[in-house]
Structure 1
Amino acid sequence: MFGHVRRTGRQVGRFDQELMRRSAALPRTGADEALKKLSRSANKGLLWFGVAAALASVKGRNRRAALRGVAAIGFASTSANLVGKNLFPRRRPAAELLPEHRRLTKRPTSSSFPSGHSASAVAFTAAVAMESPAAAIALAPLAAAVAYSRMHTGVHWPTDIAAGAAIGAGAAYATRHWWPRTVDGPAHTAQGAALPALEGGDGLLVLVNPNSGVSGVDPGDEIRAHWPKATVVYSEPGRDLVAQLTEELSAPPNDVRAVGVAGGDGTVAAVATVAAEFKLPLVLIPAGTLNHFARDVGVESVGESVAAVDEGTGQRIDLGGVTITGADGTEHRWFVNTASLGGYPEMVRMREKLGSLGWPKWPAGAVALIRSLRSAQPIRLALNGKPHLVWMLFVGNGTYTPKGFAPTRRPALDSGLLDVRYLRADVPYSRARFVIGTLTRTLSTSHVYRQRDVRSLDVRLLDGNRRIATDGEVGPLGNRFEFRAEPGALSIYRG
């Protein structure tokens, strides 16, 4: 066995020396100096951090790609430089193997195996490819040039470079364990709906929230340009949106055939609940900062809404419903995204604030989780009659992914199910264990976390009253909350 290992080692050595000789025999060109400069520019990952800064200046895929790339460099650099080089000491190629004009002025003294430069180059480019393939295609030649420059300048053997590249690819893939890839595109729904085609917006009432989206931009002007016959109203400061829109729809003449909304998720949720109550189809005009619901539905521009309204095409989607019982009686609420009890509302608000500042979802969620759990108080309640002690309870309209902490997307809008998640407070060190499970992506096996998909859920508080939050808005006090999925409760214009 040891003889076979020695023979393999000698074969690898001969292979390395042969490739080095061939590289050394290349004629002198202007590329020699360029490769030396490129190799030095990638020291300590500086080249890739500069590229990441440029990518991060553009929101969306490129920013996510930059952040994933930097994370991958961290894994790759640690694996190659701190682990690999200490475990596998190897001499650098002799300087005499190459002509003097190709040698680096300052040769590294650490182990030759593996190549840290190659690991970082491949890690960054492969991670970028997961979010923005077009950007990765543009970066691939640069990454290949950096990797080859280490052999061209005589500081690494070819197998060092190959090993570094393998480490880089593994590091890029490892980022998916903590940060799942973002899946673009609308959620699925199989329930088509024939809706009234509204020529010029005839019969359309649109509520505009001027506080949503870009400051100083009034979406009402664009709405009137596309739908000159539509009625446009603005949210009144300090007034409940549901009450305002209900009054508008109840006033004669009652000739409204569809309700539109231009605003963020909170505004959309309020208008959607009114549309469901009045059994009117909804027109989405994305005008908020995040527009989670609009992205799930698949309406990301005014043009898409205009085409769907003109053609009368749409889909039926599920809503979540909750009946709240308290000292003041009973109240029913709809929700399009989520409902929650406990510390979850504060955590969501903090996560969204960090997200609006450019943080990726997973790191933003982790920071928000830790901060909110520090001040959370446990809740004694009964879930479908069974007593529990929990820190927070999350109920999603539809089944969200990923399972575990920080659900971000719904693959389907017509599942007929509620996504119920809660954090137990009746086990030792539950908050610390929850944070550790979140950071290590092992939450699905943790005893402190529970998740289930159900059609209904009866929640009864065993101590006092609490406020429920629906779609990020704080609701009334109650001591009993009856949740249920409402299949096909809302029609939405969508192509």
Structure 2
Amino acid sequence: MDLAEIDHRAFDRVAAAKLRGLESVLPRLSAAADHGKLWYLVAAGLAVTGRPSLRRAATRGLIGIALASPTVNIVGKQIFRRRRPLIDNVPVVRVHRIPRSPSFPSGHTASAVAFAAGVAMEATGRTALPVAGLAAAVGFSRVYTGAHYPGDVLAGAASGLAAALVTRLIWPVSAPAEVVPLERSVESVDPSGDGVVVVVNGDDGIEEQLRGELPGARFESSGELEERLERAAGAAKVLAVGGGDGTVGAGAAVALKHDIPLLVLPVGTLNHFSRTLGIETVSDALNAYRSGNLSRVDVGTVNGVPFLNNAGFGIYPEVVRRREKLERRLGKWPALAVSTLRALRHTSPVSATVDGHSRRVWLAFVGNCTYRSHGTVPTTRAHMDDGILDVRVVSARRGLGKPGAFAAVLTGSHRLGYEKWAARSLNIEPSADRLLVSHDGEISGSAPPVVFDKHPKGLAVFVPAP
């Protein structure tokens, strides 16, 4: 008995099966998955939750569909051109609509598995398992309604899984960094927040929520941010800072100065540092505080000014400024492409001596700890305590000009001038009187020399309990 005969017999058994209660449900489910409509609806539901992990799950799932669907429908079906099953034995009530396209592989199943696998890479089991169950039901419905042989569905599932894995090459999976806990937890953490002083930048609604969650905490709400942080740190056992990466970076500088633990409240537009710690919501932060679980993480510095994520110069400050405005609307990589193109239009490379080597630098990225992904603007880190500065530079090459610089920024090609190395410190001597430097989204001018350095394991932060 060959595989084709096994496939036909399996189809006949499913056609003969009578699943009470599913005679009308599965055909409707199969119809809902036409042209990916079901998955677009699920993706919208995940996106409106407001949780960054679920928005990433929805995006990765849709990228998987964008890869799987044309591969299966345009390439796979045209190569194999298998006829659809004969549906003489399939009850009429089940038959939805038999497509005219070839049968192998199943496009519905490929899209379903690509989406479900993409969601599973970013979301917890509580979300991933129901989506996976829905994808399995769609795959079974394609056989149950007579549209496909079981072998078509298995091949579609394999194609969808492969597409989901390819998304990891395009966009690395977000995962918290590994953080080493302190030998002790915070003693006598008060669930009411006694000893906590809170500084929130620009979100009164969150402050009201925190007053309900931490009735014993103090709040510094008046004055400039720097003044509020200094007053808070002087009176706090724990400094809680709410805002984006720039605000949290300012809070980290004060916490480092006063040697007190920092509680990060992710309420800003971009929260890369808190996400790296595994804190995506205010609830995550409060749970980390109540667990009393502390870790020590590295802090980078540029001329003594701390940064938690990354710093840079050349067109990097302008790219960051423009990208942050576009990222929510376009996504990371389209926003990077648009912002790089706009930043290059009216700029020239920066002439500088970088650790004793003369260079003409289009873009320089300096990361606090080693980033996992390739390229000039990576996003994820495996560790927050490795003592390393991750340096990535795009230098000007003769004959390439701005088009070459643009391509180097987007592709990270060594042939186009991209270089990467690890350092404990970095010394920059620009030819100009001042060098424009970005650090955690904040932009300032620095007089030479410009020195990037580290405080290894210098900052105590609350992290989720392991």
Shorter-chain TM-score above 0.5: yes
1:259-270 mapped onto 2 (5 Å cutoff): 259-270=239-250
Output one character per residue of 1:10-42: Cα deviation in whole Å (capped at 9) or x when no partner: 823322332233233335966334333332222
Which secondary structure state, in structure 1, belongs to the residue aligned with residue 301 of structure 2? strand
The one of 222, 228, 236 aligned to 2:223: 236
Which secondary structure state, in structure 2, belongs to the residue aligned with residue 451 of structure 1? strand
Q: Which residue of 1 aligns with 2:167?
A: 175
Which secondary structure state, in structure 1, belongs to the residue aligned with residue 50 of structure 2? coil
Alpha-carbon distance between aligned partners in 2 of 1:174 and 1:411, rounded to the nearest angstrom? 20
Q: Which residue of 2 aligns with 1:26?
A: 17
Alpha-carbon offset, residue 383 of structure 1: 0.6
The one of 338, 346, 362 aligned to 2:318: 346
Q: Which residue of 2 aligns with 1:327?
A: none
Alpha-carbon distance between aligned partners in 1 of 2:263 and 2:221, rounded to the nearest angstrom? 15
Alignment gaps of 5+ in structure 1 = 1-9, 324-331
The one of 312, 322, 334 aligned to 2:302: 322
Output one character per residue of 1:260-305: Cα deviation in whole Å (capped at 9) or x when no partner: 534332222223323434x431432515324433444566423533
**Contact kept? 2:81, 2:104, Cα under 8 Å:** yes
Alpha-carbon offset, residue 376 of structure 1: 4.2
Determine whether 1:450 maps to 2:419: yes
| Letter aligned with residue 321 of structure 2 | R
1:314-463 mapped onto 2 (5 Å cutoff): 314-323=294-303, 332-356=304-328, 361-429=332-400, 432=403, 443=412, 447-463=416-432
Alpha-carbon distance between aligned partners in 1 of 2:42 and 2:384, rounded to the nearest angstrom? 38
**Contact kept? 2:175, 2:276, Cα under 8 Å:** no
Alpha-carbon distance between aligned partners in 2 of 1:179 and 1:269, rounded to the nearest angstrom? 26
Q: Which stretch shifts more, 450-459 or 417-426?
A: 417-426
1:80-95 mapped onto 2 (5 Å cutoff): 80-95=72-87
| Letter aligned with residue 73 of structure 2 | N
Alpha-carbon offset, residue 342 of structure 1: 2.3
Alpha-carbon distance between aligned partners in 1 of 2:237 and 2:87, rounded to the nearest angstrom? 80
Alpha-carbon distance between aligned partners in 2 of 1:183 and 1:126, rounded to the nearest angstrom? 16
Q: Which residue of 2 aligns with 1:304?
A: 288
1:34-73 mapped onto 2 (5 Å cutoff): 34-60=25-51, 61-73=53-65
Which secondary structure state, in structure 2, belongs to the residue aligned with residue 91 of structure 1? coil
Alpha-carbon offset, residue 223 of structure 1: 8.4
Alpha-carbon offset, residue 49 of structure 1: 1.6
**Contact kept? 1:317, 1:487, Cα under 8 Å:** yes
**Contact kept? 1:319, 1:485, Cα under 8 Å:** yes
Output one character per residue of 1:88-142: Cα deviation in whole Å (capped at 9) or x when no partner: 22222234454544444x5322222222112112212222221223323213333
The 1:140/1:233 distance shift into structure 2, 3 A limit, reads closer
The 1:444/1:118 distance shift into structure 2, 3 A limit, reads same
Which secondary structure state, in structure 1, belongs to the residue aligned with residue 104 of structure 2? coil
Alpha-carbon distance between aligned partners in 1 of 2:461 and 2:353, rounded to the nearest angstrom? 35
The 1:425/1:148 distance shift into structure 2, 3 A limit, reads same
| Letter aligned with residue 423 of structure 1 | V
Q: Which residue of 1 aligns with 2:215?
A: 225
In percent, how many aligned pairs have the same letter?
Answer: 37
Alpha-carbon distance between aligned partners in 1 of 2:128 and 2:117, rounded to the nearest angstrom? 7
The 1:430/1:218 distance shift into structure 2, 3 A limit, reads farther
The 1:123/1:201 distance shift into structure 2, 3 A limit, reads closer
Which secondary structure state, in structure 1, belongs to the residue aligned with residue 263 of structure 2? strand
**Contact kept? 2:220, 2:228, Cα under 8 Å:** no
The 1:171/1:432 distance shift into structure 2, 3 A limit, reads farther
Alpha-carbon offset, residue 418 of structure 1: 1.2
| Letter aligned with residue 225 of structure 1 | P
| Letter aligned with residue 460 of structure 1 | E
Alpha-carbon distance between aligned partners in 1 of 2:286 and 2:261, rounded to the nearest angstrom? 13
**Contact kept? 2:232, 2:239, Cα under 8 Å:** no
**Contact kept? 2:408, 2:416, Cα under 8 Å:** no
The 1:350/1:193 distance shift into structure 2, 3 A limit, reads farther
The 1:172/1:464 distance shift into structure 2, 3 A limit, reads same
Q: Which residue of 2 aligns with 1:7?
A: none
| Letter aligned with residue 243 of structure 2 | G
Which secondary structure state, in structure 2, belongs to the residue aligned with residue 305 of structure 1? helix
Alpha-carbon distance between aligned partners in 1 of 2:324 and 2:238, rounded to the nearest angstrom? 30
Q: TM-score, normalised by structure 1?
A: 0.79
The one of 7, 10, 24 aligned to 1:16: 7
Which secondary structure state, in structure 1, belongs to the residue aligned with residue 157 of structure 2? helix
Larger radius of gyration: 1
Q: CA RMSD in A?
A: 3.5
Q: Which stretch shifts more, 161-170 or 423-432?
A: 423-432
Counting matched residue pairs gives 456
The one of 124, 134, 139 aligned to 1:142: 134
The 1:102/1:272 distance shift into structure 2, 3 A limit, reads closer
Alignment gaps of 5+ in structure 2 = none
| Letter aligned with residue 262 of structure 2 | V
Alpha-carbon offset, residue 187 of structure 1: 4.0
| Letter aligned with residue 351 of structure 2 | R
Q: TM-score, normalised by structure 2?
A: 0.84
Which secondary structure state, in structure 2, belongs to the residue aligned with residue 422 of structure 1? strand
Alpha-carbon distance between aligned partners in 1 of 2:210 and 2:126, rounded to the nearest angstrom? 35
